[in-house]
Amino acid sequence: MSRIIERALGLFFPSECPVCGKPSDRSATSPICGVCWANMTRLPANCCGVCSKPLEVEGISKCGDCYATRPYYSTVRVYAEFSGAMKEAVHLFKFSGVRRLARPIAELFKDIELPQADLIVPVPMTKKRLTERGFNQSLLMAKAISDFTKVPLSYDTLIKVRETPHQTTLKGSERVKSLKNAFRSAGDMEGKSIAVVDDVMTTGATLNECAKALVNAGAAEVIGIVAARTVFQ
């Protein structure tokens, strides 16, 4: 029955998959078709156990950056590379306001074993940025993940206390500098394991600053749950 409904919706509301150019055949992820959605480029098996950066050398558990300076977070679970269908999905969701993609993106994590956590929190936005966009994409993802994991969601545990430039316009070192002390925890996190949800990870600076605020508030562990990671060639 669901397939019949999908096809009927495709006839009345046709759309073209932005990845392969073929007609979209899956309403839940439209305009991205089911084939492209199912074949997102996953991260390679050989990744850093902390930041999920692909490793060039076999047999090691951490990248050089994480050996040199241990992040405040303990590990990051990433579903896919920031390319192809995932990149299109994030752009549609984040910049074109296709909010319904929050749930199918979040539900990709049903295929991944997530570490145990006491609380799920989204990467926060300032009031100004939230007003401009109209929604927090990380909060919508966090809500969907909370729904199927049954881990409580808190939308106000983390607060972004000042504006920062759009991270896509900055280089790695500039990102770290611009985000320094941009977040704070609004409560006592003593002994808790916190999962922080975000859409895309590039340098890890945002996640690390969020984790820093939570650890300073007493969190025993901070875990990242991120839909996509930029992979540099």
The per-residue pLDDT string of the chain (233 residues; one tens digit each, 9 = 90 and over) reads 555 555 555 544 458 999 999 998 888 899 999 999 999 999 988 999 999 999 988 888 999 999 999 999 999 999 999 999 999 999 999 999 999 999 999 999 999 999 999 999 999 999 999 999 999 999 999 999 999 999 999 999 999 999 887 766 666 667 778 888 999 999 889 999 999 999 999 999 999 999 999 999 999 999 999 999 998 75
Same domain, 127 and 174: yes
Q: What's the pTM value of the predicted model, to 2 decimals? A: 0.89
Same domain, 12 and 102: no
Structural tokens at position 51: 């930041």
Same domain, 94 and 172: yes
Same domain, 32 and 131: no
3-state secondary structure of 204: coil
Exposed e or buried b for every residue in 81-99, given b needs 16+ CB within 10 A?
bbebbbbbbbebbbeeebe
Same domain, 87 and 145: yes
Same domain, 144 and 78: yes
Same domain, 92 and 186: yes
- CATH code of the domain in which 117 resides: 3.40.50
Same domain, 80 and 171: yes
Q: Are 228 and 81 in contact (CB under 8 A)?
A: yes
All residues at 6 or more sequence positions from 81 whose CB lies less than 8 Å from its CB, including other chains: 40, 41, 42, 43, 228, 229, 230, 231
Structurally, how many domains does the chain consist of? Answer: 2
Cis previous bond, 44, omega within 30? no
Same domain, 16 and 72: no
Q: Which domain holds residue 111?
A: 40-229
Same domain, 78 and 19: no
